[in-house]
């Protein structure tokens, strides 16, 4: 259960962590210009290990856009443009279910800062492309694993389809986004607020067959990053379309998080892993903190809002200090240590992971408030 006391002085701590994040990103682009890393190996971004799937390129420029907004430093804007521009072709990429991650962190942030319509068109096209993954039988967007597979991760991406639908008035897009979100709610979120990573369908009949996992401990367990994607995704869906069912689900999953997370706010990789096998997973904690800060403002229940805000700040405060912040680990190239990408494939275990860095910076930005 989360320890919710002693949050004093936290603004200063968030500010220092954001400075450290800028320092690490600046060092990365000077050391290895043009490189879009995914996860470290013994603290180094450059290594030859597998990607598994190609979903992370938006996160590095995404951080740069946040730094540019907060500091108004023209050099951050220049770098953000330089690293965002080459991603445009991914707006037609049908191999991944991650176009929300790639474009909401980059072209969408760029558009919000400049109002340039051609940037918005790129985001809308990415939303249209993601919608092509929709399976009419079963009513879900399929994961990169195959047409029979739905991932909870897709909830953190479906926002780009809602966005494209709202921007264009396209009812077909809205229908896809609503149906996928309601299906995820029904088949991937359990009654206690825990979530399943994956679900498997019968393609012939559209019948839901079973819950499953790729990155979690077991098919019936609650992989912490999946839960984080659920909280983030249902909160974003509610923000975009104000359907009460999405608010209920975001709150149910958040309440599961609050009940099960350790006192310091750092999630285990999987909430159901045996205690002897538990490992910290900081990226899930960072994503959840970013989501709870948003949910705290959206929920009409003021007591819940205060609880979510405090919980997010507790998590952040822990992440802003060693041993999680890498500020006292010489030669560590990432910002946050102790993330886990894929334990079962032994990829990025107890390392920095690029989405952990991005959502940590997004959470710091939200916690600090408007510039």
Binding residues for ligand GLY (CB under 6 A):
153, 215, 225, 341
- 319 vs 16, 21, 151, 195, 339, CA distance in Å? 12, 12, 27, 24, 11
Q: How far is the CB of 225 from ligand GLY (least distance, A)?
A: 5
As measured in angstroms, the least distance from the Cβ of 145 to ligand GLY is 10
Q: Is 265 helix (H, G, I), strand (E, B) or coil?
A: coil
Contact residues for 330 (Cβ-Cβ < 8 A; gap 6+):
none
- Tokens representing 301 are 């229940």
Cβ 144 to ligand GLY, closest distance in Å?
A: 8
d(CA 259, CA 281): 17
Nearest distance, CB of residue 287 and ligand GLY, angstroms: 9
Name the minimum Å distance from CB 179 to ligand GLY.
22
If the CB atoms of residues 149 and 327 are measured against ligand GLY, the closer one turns out to be 149
Q: Which of 233, 75, 202 is nearest to 135 (CA)?
A: 202
Element (H, E) at 209: strand 208-212
Closer CB to ligand GLY, residue 146 or residue 322?
146
Give me the residues paired with residue 210 across strands.
200
DSSP 79-116: HHHHHHGGGGGGGG--S-S-HHHHHHTTHHHHHHHH--
> Between 246 and 341, whose beta carbon lies closer to ligand GLY?
341
Residues with Cβ within 8 Å of residue 221, at least 6 apart in sequence: 213, 270, 271, 272, 273
CB of 93 to ligand GLY, least distance (A): 15
| Distance in Å, CB of 341 to ligand GLY, minimum | 6
Backbone angles phi, psi at 13, to 5 degrees: -65, -45
Rank residues 222 and 296 by Cβ distance to ligand GLY and give the closer one: 222
- Residue number, 131 or 156, with CB nearest to ligand GLY: 156
Sign, Cα dihedral of 254, 260, 262, 268: negative
Nearer to ligand GLY, 27 or 51 (CB): 51
Of 251 and 281, nearer to ligand GLY (C-beta) is 281
Structure tokens at 78: 């220049």
């Amino acid at each position: 259960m989360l320890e919710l006391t002693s949050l004093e002085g936290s603004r200063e701590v968030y500010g220092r962590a954001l400075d450290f994040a800028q320092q690490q990103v600046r060092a990365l682009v000077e050391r290895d210009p043009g490189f879009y890393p995914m996860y470290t190996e013994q603290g180094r971004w450059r290594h030859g290990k597998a990607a598994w799937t190609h979903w992370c390129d938006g996160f590095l420029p995404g951080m740069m856009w946040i730094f540019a907004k907060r500091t108004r430093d023209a050099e951050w804007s220049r770098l953000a443009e330089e690293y965002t521009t080459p991603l445009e072709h991914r707006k037609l990429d049908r191999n991944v279910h991650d176009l929300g991650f790639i474009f909401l962190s980059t072209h969408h942030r760029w558009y919000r800062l400049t109002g340039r319509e051609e940037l918005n068109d790129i985001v809308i096209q990415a939303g249209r492309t993601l919608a092509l993954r929709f399976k009419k039988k079963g009513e879900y967007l399929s994961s990169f694993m195959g047409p029979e597979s739905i991932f909870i991760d897709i909830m953190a991406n479906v926002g780009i389809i809602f966005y494209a639908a709202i921007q264009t008035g396209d009812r077909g897009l809205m229908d896809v986004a609503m149906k996928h979100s309601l299906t995820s709610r029904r088949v991937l979120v359990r009654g206690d607020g825990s979530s399943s990573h994956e679900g498997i369908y019968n393609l012939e009949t559209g019948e839901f067959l079973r819950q499953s996992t790729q990155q979690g401990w077991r098919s019936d367990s609650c992989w912490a990053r999946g839960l984080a994607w659920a909280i983030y995704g249902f909160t974003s869906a509610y923000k975009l379309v104000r359907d009460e069912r999405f608010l209920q689900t975001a709150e149910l999953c958040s309440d599961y998080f609050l009940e099960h997370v350790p006192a310091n706010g750092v999630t285990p990789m999987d909430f159901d892993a045996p205690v002897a096998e538990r490992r910290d997973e900081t990226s899930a904690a960072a994503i959840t903190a970013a989501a709870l800060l948003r949910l705290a403002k959206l929920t009409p229940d003021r007591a819940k809002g205060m609880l979510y805000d405090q919980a997010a700040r507790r998590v952040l405060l822990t992440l802003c200090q060693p041993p999680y912040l890498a500020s006292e680990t010489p030669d560590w190239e990432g910002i946050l240590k102790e993330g886990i990408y894929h334990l079962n494939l032994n990829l990025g275990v107890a390392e920095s992971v690029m989405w952990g860095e991005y959502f940590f910076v997004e959470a710091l930005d939200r916690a600090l408030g408007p510039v």
